[in-house]
């Protein structure tokens, strides 16, 4: 038993409230080191009557560790607990004070979950775990009203550049809601729609006004209402880390210098505002002179931005916010932001852009989720970069599942590409079979999938600006077979509780192999997903348990005599099986 590998800390991600009655407990041990782990738990004020052992199950594994999980329902919402660890040779108890060879008698030395306070429960909106998101870059999705296009608008479908316009607008989205509904989309994430001089709108001029080239505030409300009629939620992009150079408060600072009443709205190192040797004399996003960083510690800045957050929720009825460059804004502001948003709509989704370890934003007092780029990296490292074998991918998946409490993982925003990255088909070298495998994993893994507009009909594109090309609306130029693949997969996920919130279990993931099999299951149903990420056929004898399995793609039946599925998977092929009733 390697004691140095064993880790547990009360609270954070190791002991958390699942709901008003349940505490989720986790512990880490060396991989393949333990035969069993149990929680020894009870009420600190009534230990003798309430103490009991709760078996833990192995939740996930990565390259170094196993992660064990159990759920406790303390009668009085309090819990004292220790862990009983058995490696088959030695049994030890782990308390807050260390390891003991005998069952400890004094619970005062145990870990303590003092009280299950309802206010501390991490509760992302219930609808999110069931959602299928679709990201739209408004300027490039559809031109529905040419009369409001910029004067220098170019012909739809031309070569995208960082500074050109093609006239996409909100009416264009309205015109294609039937298309999104046919695909199976249930939520839209829009990149910024507020007034700004660029095509991407991340340099906001007016946070309370829809950009005139997109439409009006009334048109956005019309779009949101029409989406809601179809069961589609709407998420807007909040650029609260920085404003644009044409933002009135910053213009006033440019004109008046230190005398401006807005001088403390920004982080200024040296007046007048200037750029020296390529570095602005004021804080910005990524040294970009046109994106001055807000001082969110300033109460007036806070009041303004929180007014913006409240306005679009109340007046237009949006369903949440995606927060740009969220990790560069102070935590105290985000706590105030959450309180403001949830006061208006407790069901609103708060999604932060954080590319790295995001645990500190996901404690229930700031965000509901972050854009899950670690998931993106793991999937692309397996299918595209070939940096990971099957075991490496499942180790990465296990690490992601173990990193956060269950409610956090269920609401994680899983993407494979976006307006900030090359498109998925381009990353896959134009290989549609490879792209399908990546999308299959995305739509059958734990968390909430988001599809970047046009991926489903075969749009390609390198890094920005290539990834921001115009949507193709000529059906003769769309890959309709790929569209049908996405539609079928989305429909499968939407109709299956197991694929949305079921337990994840690895069935096959060997070192030096690119053949992967895993299951998603609940008490009522189970799916098996198999992918062959090689250019050779793969023969499998996969233990799946007794019973019949139906091919979820074509409805055929696959039998598993003695609980073994005998399969041959074509190069870059896949299978999805559902356990027959």
As annotated, the active-site residues are 324, 353
**Residue 325 near residue 260, CB atoms below 8 Å:** no
Cα–Cα distance measured from residue 307 to residue 312, given in angstroms and rounded to the nearest whole number = 9
Alpha helices in 21-102 (DSSP H): 47-50
* 365-402 exposure pattern, b = at least 16 Cβ within 10 A, e = fewer: ebbbbbbbbbbbebbbebbbeeebbbbbbbbbbbbbbb
Q: How far is CA 263 from CA 144, 252, 260, in A?
A: 41, 8, 5
Structure tokens at 7: 């880790």
**Residue 70 near residue 79, CB atoms below 8 Å:** no
Give the 3-state secondary structure of residue 50. helix
Is the Cα dihedral 542, 547, 552, 553 positive or negative? positive
Q: Is 473 exposed, middle or buried (0-12, 13-18, 19+ CB in 10 A)?
A: middle
Q: Which of 131, 14, 23 is nearest to 75 (CA)?
A: 23
Q: Is 351 exposed, middle or buried (0-12, 13-18, 19+ CB in 10 A)?
A: buried
**Residue 241 near residue 329, CB atoms below 8 Å:** yes
Element (H, E) at 481: helix 480-494
Element (H, E) at 94: strand 91-95
Strand spans (E) along 296-405 = 320-323, 349-352, 369-370
**Residue 492 near residue 551, CB atoms below 8 Å:** no
CA atoms within 13 A on the CB side of 92: 14
Q: What is the dihedral of CA 392, 397, 399, 401, to 10 degrees?
A: -170
**Residue 240 near residue 232, CB atoms below 8 Å:** no
Q: How far is CA 502 from CA 330, 400, 410, 520, in A?
A: 35, 15, 9, 5
Structure tokens at 320: 């949440």
Structure tokens at 133: 């998101």
Q: How far is CA 134 from CA 233, 264, 339, 415, 454, in A?
A: 10, 38, 27, 10, 10
Q: Which of 512, 467, 495, 466 is nearest to 576 (CA)?
A: 495
């Amino acid at each position: 038993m390697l004691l140095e590998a064993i880790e547990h800390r009360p609270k954070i991600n190791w002991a958390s409230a699942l709901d008003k009655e349940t505490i989720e407990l986790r512990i880490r041990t060396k991989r393949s080191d333990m035969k069993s782990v149990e929680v020894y738990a009870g009420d600190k004020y009534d230990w003798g009557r309430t103490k009991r052992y709760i078996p833990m199950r192995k939740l996930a594994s990565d390259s170094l560790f196993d992660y064990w999980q159990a759920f406790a329902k303390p009668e009085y919402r309090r819990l004292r607990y220790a862990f009983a660890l058995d490696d088959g040779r030695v049994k030890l108890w782990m308390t807050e004070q260390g390891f003991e060879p005998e069952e400890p008698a004094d619970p005062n030395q145990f870990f303590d979950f003092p009280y299950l306070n309802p206010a501390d429960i991490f509760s992302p909106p219930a609808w999110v775990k069931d959602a299928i998101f679709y990201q739209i870059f408004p300027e490039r999705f559809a031109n529905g009203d040419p009369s409001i296009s910029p004067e220098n608008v170019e012909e739809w479908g031309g070569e995208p550049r960082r500074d050109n316009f093609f006239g996409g607008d909100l009416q264009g989205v309205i015109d294609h809601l039937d298309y999104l509904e046919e695909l199976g989309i249930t939520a839209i994430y829009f990149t910024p729609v507020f007034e700004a001089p660029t095509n991407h709108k991340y340099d906001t001029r007016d946070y309370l006004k829809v950009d005139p080239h997109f439409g009006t505030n009334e048109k956005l409300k019309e779009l949101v209402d029409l989406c809601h009629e179809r069961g589609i939620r709407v998420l807007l992009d909040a650029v609260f880390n920085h404003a644009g150079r044409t933002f009135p408060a910053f213009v006033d600072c440019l004109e008046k210098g230190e005398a401006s009443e807005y001088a403390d709205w920004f982080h200024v190192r040296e007046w007048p505002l200037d750029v020296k040797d390529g570095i602005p004399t004021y804080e910005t996003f990524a040294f970009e002179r046109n994106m001055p960083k807000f001082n969110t510690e300033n109460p007036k800045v806070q009041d303004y931005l929180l007014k913006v957050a409240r306005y679009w929720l109340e007046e237009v009825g949006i369903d949440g916010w995606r927060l740009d460059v969220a990790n560069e804004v102070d935590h105290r502001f985000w706590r105030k932001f959450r309180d403001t948003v949830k006061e208006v709509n407790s069901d609103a989704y708060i999604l932060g852009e954080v590319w790295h370890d995001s645990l500190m934003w996901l404690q229930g007092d700031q965000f509901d989720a972050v854009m899950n780029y670690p998931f993106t990296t793991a999937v692309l490292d397996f299918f595209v970069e070939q940096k990971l074998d099957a075991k490496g991918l499942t180790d990465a998946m296990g690490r992601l599942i173990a990193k956060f409490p269950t409610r956090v993982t269920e609401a994680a925003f899983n993407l494979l590409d976006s307006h900030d990255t090359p498109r998925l088909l381009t990353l896959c070298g134009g290989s549609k079979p490879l792209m399908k495998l990546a999308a299959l994993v995305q739509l059958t893994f734990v968390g909430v999938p988001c599809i970047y507009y046009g991926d489903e009909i075969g749009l390609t594109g390198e890094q920005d600006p290539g990834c921001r090309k115009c949507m193709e609306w000529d059906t003769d130029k769309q890959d309709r077979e790929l569209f049908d693949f996405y539609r079928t997969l989305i429909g499968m996920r939407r109709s299956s509780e197991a694929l949305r919130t079921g337990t994840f279990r690895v069935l096959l993931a060997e070192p030096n192999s690119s053949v992967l099999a895993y299951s998603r299951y609940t008490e009522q149903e189970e799916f098996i997903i198999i992918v062959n990420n090689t250019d050779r056929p793969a023969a499998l004898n996969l233990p799946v348990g007794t019973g019949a399995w139906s091919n979820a793609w074509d409805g055929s039946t696959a039998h598993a005599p003695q609980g073994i599925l005998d399969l041959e998977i074509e190069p870059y092929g896949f299978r999805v099986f559902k356990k027959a009733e």
